[in-house]
Homo-oligomer: A and B are copies of this chain.
Amino acid sequence: MNKSATKVLKTLEHVGGFASAQEVHQLITRQGDRIGLTTIYRALQSLQKDNFVDVLRRDDGEAIYRLCGNEHHHHLVCKKCGRTVEIEGGVIEKWAETVANKNGFRDVGHSAEIFGTCSDC
């Protein structure tokens, strides 16, 4: 695994949940590192191939990635300003597990996000 892939991995770790390639790119460049979007995509592809990350699709078709096999939490995101609140999702974990078992699914993960407008907007 090379430098860029490691950086992407760390970023995803810090995020603790799902992030798109473009979001990862923003997060990394915002903290001063210069890196091309292409490199992010290539790093994510490689991480995916090696089963370090999990891929899903948002409703708008954008791909979102997250570390495999990590504990995670969920997000409450403001649609206007992007403010994000980390929330505890114990209920969801149980719900996902129960539903999956009931239907004979294994190797189970889930995604859950809440969107809205925050009090400042």
Contacts and interface: CB of A to CB of B under 8 A. Distances in A.
Interface of A: 55-59, 61-63, 76, 78-79, 85, 87, 89, 91-92, 95-96, 99-100, 103-119
Most buried by B among A79, A96, A104, A116: A116
Contact of A104 (B99, B113, B118): B118
B99 A119 contact: no
B110 A115 contact: yes
A75 to B, nearest CB: 10
Contact of A117 (B78, B107, B115): B107
Q: Which 6 A-B pairs have the closest CB atoms?
A: A104-B119, A108-B116, A105-B116, A57-B57, A112-B112, A110-B114
